[in-house]
Amino acid sequence: MDPSPLFYQAGPALPEVSHAQGVYLWDENGRQYLDGCSGAISCNLGHGRDDIREAMLAQLDRVAFTYRTQFENAPAVALAKTLVGITQHQLEKVFFVSSGSEAVESALKLARQYFVVRGEPQCRRFVSLRPSYHGSTLGALGVTGYQPLEAPFRDIAIGSLKVAGPDFYRHDDADDNRHVARVLANTRAAIEAAGPDTIAAFVLEPVGGASTGARMLDRSYLTDIRALCDEFGCLLILDEVLTGIGRTGAWFAYQHYGVTPDLLSTAKGLGAGYYPVGAVLSRADIVETVMASGGFQHGHTYAGNPLACATGLAVVEAIERDKVLDNVVARGRQLAAGLEALKARFPWIGDVRGLGLLWGVELVADAATKAPFPAEQNRFARITALAREEGLLIYPRRTLDGMAGDHFLITPPLTIDAADTAELLTRLERAMQRFDRELAAATPMNATTL
């Protein structure tokens, strides 16, 4: 077979996908895989849905593409109104894009232009967490805190002020409240040292994604970050590219915490893997200020095109009609219980954390000290390969700023049922049993830890 002209990231040769249905995919050899990570945490309604297909075909029969400066289109208007509605009108303006990186980049540029228009051009810096992931375009990469992704481009990306967020698994403070207080104090000190009057916005994920393995925040932290932004006069941008559109059991993860952002980016689940579509949602006054100056100096060719928005609208309507959020809550409880049972069985599972159908499993060499496996062992890649051999797709990354630590995400389609959730856990257990045997075989007989 001739080598493929395609290139992505380094890794083993991959099988060619044949077809998919529900939460399963098959390769060209007929091998079945349970989609335990919704592709890239994006195929939120599973595969092969007739209702989404019919909505796309109906729009194709009308018009697939129009440019946003030449025509408005009904799907874009309807989807924008729907998104505003699911924020309870807390965010009243919508700007469509085609990807998560574009959504974050657009939010950064909107925040920057807002301050320029207000006569505050010194507000040019952003604050974000380390570790974090916000996208791969240069602006979004600048607020990303993940060393391997940053390293080749650090000299050409405009980096943000990186601060640590809470880590409820690894901290050594007296309790979680004191940990949050210390993190907030350090954040305040970092902003004050940098100059609060230079900060345009604080950017964060309300629940961590691939960079942290679903590391959780809490209400007190988010409430105080919101207050800190208000005190310093900067904006709060929540990156819900991964967590938005139902992944955590609410339309948006911030709704669990009672904290409202000024800007919000979302993508992935909005198109549910059927067509690329994302959005920036904003407070009305921010947009009105920018538009009064001559308009938002930004845009993408495919932004808000009819086919993308018709797809997104069909996705949101399906989630509402089929009570998918209720399923996320129920299946999330089932998945959490199953993962906790596996943690109790295997001592190298250091932590299980998450919300709804967004769960991270962190692996450690020593459960007592929480020491990670040596980075060169690539344990995150090995357990992913074993899971694949058992017919289960999971999503791996390094936990500690991309340099060390091992975790994987379990993020199945939001439509997964109880039986397939049980099957997911069964396949994961088989992979873990094999992983455990490999660890035992590699451990000297007199070793006291993994």
Same domain for 225 and 215: yes
Torsional sign, CA 169, 174, 177, 181: negative
Strand partners, 32: 26
Q: What is the pLDDT along the chain (450 residues), one digit of tens a residue?
A: 567 888 887 777 889 999 999 999 999 999 999 999 999 999 999 999 999 999 999 999 999 999 999 999 999 999 999 999 999 999 999 999 999 999 999 999 999 999 999 999 999 999 999 999 999 999 999 999 999 999 999 999 999 999 999 999 999 999 999 999 999 999 999 999 999 999 999 999 999 999 999 999 999 999 999 999 999 999 999 999 999 999 999 999 999 999 999 999 999 999 999 999 999 999 999 999 999 999 999 999 999 999 999 999 999 999 999 999 999 999 999 999 999 999 999 999 999 999 999 999 999 999 999 999 999 999 999 999 999 999 999 999 999 999 999 999 999 999 999 999 999 999 999 999 999 999 999 876 434 444
What's 245's DSSP letter?
T
Neighbouring residues of 303: CB distance < 8 A, sequence distance ≥ 6:
68, 95, 96, 97, 98, 102
Distant-in-sequence, close-in-space partners of 10: CB < 8 Å, separation ≥ 6: none
The answer to whether residue 3 sits within a structural domain is no
Is residue 228 within 8 Å of residue 191, measured between CB atoms?
yes
Q: What is the DSSP string of 151-190?
A: GGGTTTS---EEE----TTT--SSSHHHHHHHHHHHHHHH
- Within a domain: residue 338? yes
Residue appearing with tokens 């974000």: 128
Residue ranges making up the domain that contains 105 = 51-321
Q: Does the residue 7 lie in any domain?
A: no
Domain membership of residue 213 (yes or no) is: yes
33 plus 90 within the same structural domain: no
Cβ distance 262 to 230 under 8 Å? no
What is the rounded CA–CA span in Å between residue 53 and residue 73?
A: 19
Q: Which residue has the tokens 């920036």?
A: 280
Phi-psi region of 330 (alpha: psi -120 to 50; beta: other; left: phi over 0): alpha
For the purposes of burial, counting CB atoms within 10 Å of the CB of 96, is it exposed (0-12), middle (13-18) or buried (19 or more)? buried
- Encode pLDDT of 119-173 as tens digits: 999 999 999 999 999 999 999 999 999 999 999 999 999 999 999 999 999 999 9
Q: What values do phi and psi take at 68, rounded to 5?
A: -65, -20
Helical segments of 346-417, H only: 379-389
Cα 262–Cα 126–Cα 8 angle in degrees, nearest 5: 100
Structural domain tally of the chain?
A: 2
Same domain, 83 and 195: yes
Cα-based torsion angle of the residue sequence 47, 50, 55, 58 in order, rounded to the nearest 10 degrees = 130
Q: Are 152 and 292 members of one domain? A: yes
What is the per-residue pLDDT across 302-311, written as a single tens digit (0 to 9) for each?
999 999 999 9
Residue 450 lies in a domain: no
Last residue of a domain, one of 286, 321, 356: 321
For residues 72 and 220, state if they share a domain.
yes
Strand bridging mode 278-282 / 263-266 = antiparallel
The reported pTM is 0.96
* Residue 37: strand, helix, or coil: coil
Give me the sign of the Cα torsion angle 288, 294, 298, 301. positive
Residues 331 and 245 reside in one and the same domain:
no
> DSSP character for 22?
B
Write the CATH number for 437: 3.90.1150.10
Helices (H), 118-151: 138-143, 147-150
Do 289 and 382 share a domain, yes or no?
A: no
**Residue 194 sits in the same domain as residue 217:** yes
In this structure, are 345 and 422 located in the same domain? yes
Per-residue pLDDT tens digits for 62-92: 999 999 999 999 999 999 999 999 999 999 9
For residue 152, what is the domain's CATH number?
3.40.640.10
